[in-house]
Amino acid sequence: MRISTCLSNLGINDASPFAVCDAISEEFNVIKQIYFAKILKEHPDKGGDAAVFRATRAAWQVLRDLYDKGSIKKDTFTSYLGGPTTRAKSANVSYDENYDSSDNDDDNYDDDDDDDEDLA
């Protein structure tokens, strides 16, 4: 699953949520807050769609795993959103946006570009 897709599944489509962030840890905390707010609304027990809930949870798991492993390129999530980054030190550095599931011990993630509704 692409990192930009994971961010989009959480409702993050531009860098505005990260405007005041000075470090990747602050960006991760913003992502975590957005995830928990979104997952509460989407939970099937709260009337949400189970497939949307699973996609949101899968996106969070990929982003969390990448953050925990220190595998976010350019040390910023905003670099995966296609716009300018919030921190100057990460400008003009190339990166590969695809998550390499071979680095994951669990192999629970799908690294293709398809819309995956079967993610647990």
* Residue-wise pLDDT tens digits, 13-57: 999 999 999 999 999 999 999 999 999 999 999 999 999 999 999
pLDDT on residue 64? 96
pLDDT on residue 98? 52
* Other Cβ atoms closer than 10 A to 60: 20
- Across the range 101-115, mean pLDDT stands at 45
Residue 7 is classified by DSSP as H
* Other Cβ atoms closer than 10 A to 2: 16
pTM over 0.85: no
Amino acid at site 111: D
Contacts of 32 (CB under 8 A, 6+ apart): none
CA separation for the pair 31, 10 (Å, rounded): 8
Contacts of 92 (CB under 8 A, 6+ apart): none
